[in-house]
Amino acid sequence: MILGYLALMIGCFLEGETSLLAASFAAHRGMLEIVPVFIIAYVTTQIADWTWFIAGRTHGKRILEKRPSWNRKLKHIYRLILKYPVLILLTYRFFYGMRSIIPFTVGMSAIPYRKFMIFSLIGTSLWTLTMCSAGYFFGAILEANIDRLKEYEIEILIILIVVGISTGLIIRHIQNRKYSYNSIKK
């Protein structure tokens, strides 16, 4: 059980969605408890968001000098933040593959700490509640068919994790190729 919570903590710091969905599913199956899953996901997500925000605020320019390929992506995100600050601050957690780059970019912007904190707390609450509910609901659907699936429950959990991580890596690869191609094209 402790390993499940530790995996959730690491997963929420690095990626988030897949880890929380899997942990919520495991909570529905009785392998974990849903309240600690929610709290661990919420706190770890806040730590990750603030790590990226502070990195952007304190070391953003220096990091960009070392990674010039990030400039194009950050400029696009920065324009979106300027145009829709409240919407972006409330919903960036739902943009798969952007959960670290957006708080980093916000950190580099003129948005004050306090505003980021308020919207980060609200946005993370919405995201954590949504993901926990989705994983738990998915568990309820599976439970209705559990007699057929019970002998494969660990395998299903592993497949969900692998598919989620693979999807994230594929999306990240496609996004990186897109930006690389666009920078070569121009």
pLDDT one-digit tens code per residue, 120-168: 999 999 999 998 998 888 877 767 776 776 677 788 888 888 888 888 7
Q: Rounded distance, CA 70 to CA 38, Å?
A: 32
Percent of the chain with pLDDT over 70: 91
What is the mean predicted confidence (pLDDT) over 110-116?
93
The three-state secondary structure class of 110 is: coil
Break the chain into its structural domains and give their ranges: 2-185
What is the mean predicted confidence (pLDDT) over 8-31?
86
| pLDDT number for residue 146 | 66
| pLDDT number for residue 160 | 84
| pLDDT number for residue 100 | 85
| pLDDT number for residue 179 | 53
* Six-digit token string for 1: 């059980």
Query: 54-97: per-residue pLDDT in tens?
Result: 999 999 989 888 888 888 888 888 898 989 999 999 998 888 77
- The answer to whether residue 184 scores a pLDDT higher than 80 is no
Q: Are 90 and 116 in contact (CB under 8 A)?
A: no
